[in-house]
Amino acid sequence: MATTQTVGSRQIKGPKKLRDAYREVIGRIAEAAVRSGRQPDQVLCVAVTKTASPDQIRSLVEMGHIDLGESRVQQLTQRAASIEEFLSRKRTLSGAATKPASPPDALPPEKVRWHMIGHLQRNKVKQVLPLVQLIHSVDSLRLAEEIHNYAARQDRVMDILIQVNTSGEVSKQGITPPAVIHMADQINTMLHLRLRGVMSMAPRSENPEDARPIFSRTAELFHELRTSSAGGPDCNILSMGMSDDFEVAIEEGANIVRVGRAIFGESVPPD
């Protein structure tokens, strides 16, 4: 049976291809974790759904995957709603026709966890907050304040990461490395925010090794933050590494990687 079909100019990874790609990524993450002296379950894979079709996202969740990431608010809203509906239908049907999954595939989770990983405009905070577990992309104090305001209204504490522009590329969002500790101190005065760590992106490159100095500098900064007065036991997330460079990121200390194309394929769905 063909597992790759072309619709227009789009290449779609069918369930079998998707499963293989996913397993490969999870295997490579595990190996990189072990190479860096950690256990495979100490590195979390956020599957970035930017290039995924709704079917692919459902298939991945059916394989037991829990953590999903989006960089755009509209897509996040639509996808979170569609997955929630899918899971609630599954919950309704469960008991009727459950078949045991054979390892290494887990059962579909009760709930998924969404991660906001892209630039967030302050006027979209209200929409995003109820849907997400972690915002990776806090890149200004004003955005942090806005998230704090809405979190306070909902009487919850929102987990956030400071996005750092370690590479200094003008095109990248994020605050400059020397400003991180000061921003962390200010965030820590806001009771409805919990600073969990930092996120960073390396410039796109053919060679993953090009990203290593950026990741290593980000890891140093993370260490500096953790051991400063702005740190603390909750500040334990280093989110870095994407499809082209996640192994290097893990070797340099990342404990969350955000992987899109290596799981779902290259194409951007037309929505």
Ligand X SMILES: *Cc1c(COP(=O)(O)O)cnc(C)c1O
Residue ranges that bind ligand X, judged by CB under 6 A: 48, 50, 71, 117-118, 201, 242-243, 258-262
Minimum CB separation of residue 201 from ligand X in Å reads 6
For ligand X, the closer CB: 135 or 242 = 242
Q: What are the backbone dihedrals phi and psi of residue 199, each rounded to the nearest 5 degrees, phi first?
A: -125, 145
Q: Do the Cβ atoms of 242 and 28 come closer than 8 Å?
A: no
Minimum CB separation of residue 130 from ligand X in Å reads 21
Minimum CB separation of residue 50 from ligand X in Å reads 5
Give just the sign of the alpha carbon dihedral 198, 65, 18, 114.
negative
For ligand X, the closer CB: 125 or 262 = 262
Minimum CB separation of residue 248 from ligand X in Å reads 13
For ligand X, the closer CB: 94 or 207 = 207
Minimum CB separation of residue 119 from ligand X in Å reads 9
Q: Do the Cβ atoms of 134 and 196 come closer than 8 Å?
A: yes
Residue showing tokens 């996005």: 163
Nearest Cα to 115, choosing from 196, 185, 56, 236?
196
For ligand X, the closer CB: 59 or 243 = 243
Minimum CB separation of residue 247 from ligand X in Å reads 12
For ligand X, the closer CB: 87 or 263 = 263
For ligand X, the closer CB: 174 or 177 = 174
Q: Do the Cβ atoms of 142 and 186 come closer than 8 Å?
A: no
Long-range CB contacts (< 8 A, 24+ apart) of 75-78? 75/49, 75/50, 75/271, 76/114, 76/116, 76/128, 76/131, 76/132, 77/127, 77/128, 77/131, 78/271
Which token pair is 8?
Answer: 């227009």
